[in-house]
Homo-oligomer: A and B are copies of this chain.
Amino acid sequence: MTTPELSSAQDARVVRTRQALREALLGLLEHKPLEQITIREIAAGAGIHYATFFRHHPTRDALLDDIAAEQIDRLVELTVPILDRADSEAALVALCSHVSEQRSLWTALLTGGAAGAMREELLRQATAVALDRVAKDSWVPVELAVICTVSVIVETLAWWLAQADPLPVTEMSKILDRLIIIRSLLQDAKQDE
């Protein structure tokens, strides 16, 4: 085994190295898709030796996961409230604001080569959350509803981030509000109950 303990980063050097790796990958993702990024490039960009990469991440995608994980957690936290009728609008504004504030990060994650992986992970977490909340006898299967909702959100955000002259947060929130259809599904389901 090359990465014996994946030591939990108590050592200052480890922290530094991993941070450098994260930044290097994000930097590269702004310029080209994930598949075209080589571990050698990341290592070079981070100023570390090629073989050292593997002491921290078994794979290029593993590094991306490492980056994405925490970001996705926050995104999911911001997304869930959208389901609640009350705060719906406020929640959307919060979501868009958050993305907007970290524009370059999310641009890399959603419009770069990582988009596919991000969508996968979001879908996984969203499905877990949704299964508890959505009635199972709706006119649309829950699983499909989640897929479509996540897709629409991801695609919309990606489109937004890719604009040279992006719409303001409030405008974007309204559009998202009308594009997302899952809440109506939830209502239908609840009414059916």
The reply to whether B178 and A156 contact each other, CB–CB distance below 8 Å, is no
Q: What is the 8 Å Cβ interface bit string for chain A, positions 143-161, against chain B (1 contact, 0 not)?
A: 1100110011001100100
Q: Chain A: interface secondary structure?
A: helix
Question: Cα distance A155–B35 when bound, in Å?
Answer: 22
Nearest neighbor of A150 in chain B, beta-carbon distance: B155
Question: Cα distance A155–B116 when bound, in Å?
Answer: 13
Question: Cα distance A181–B156 when bound, in Å?
Answer: 14
Interface residues of A in 130-173 (CB under 8 A from B): 139-141, 143-144, 147-148, 151-152, 155-156, 159
The reply to whether B144 and A159 contact each other, CB–CB distance below 8 Å, is yes
Check A90 for interface membership: any CB of B closer than 8 A.
no
The residues of A with any CB-CB pair to B shorter than 8 Å are 35, 116, 139-141, 143-144, 147-148, 151-152, 155-156, 159, 174-175, 178-179, 181
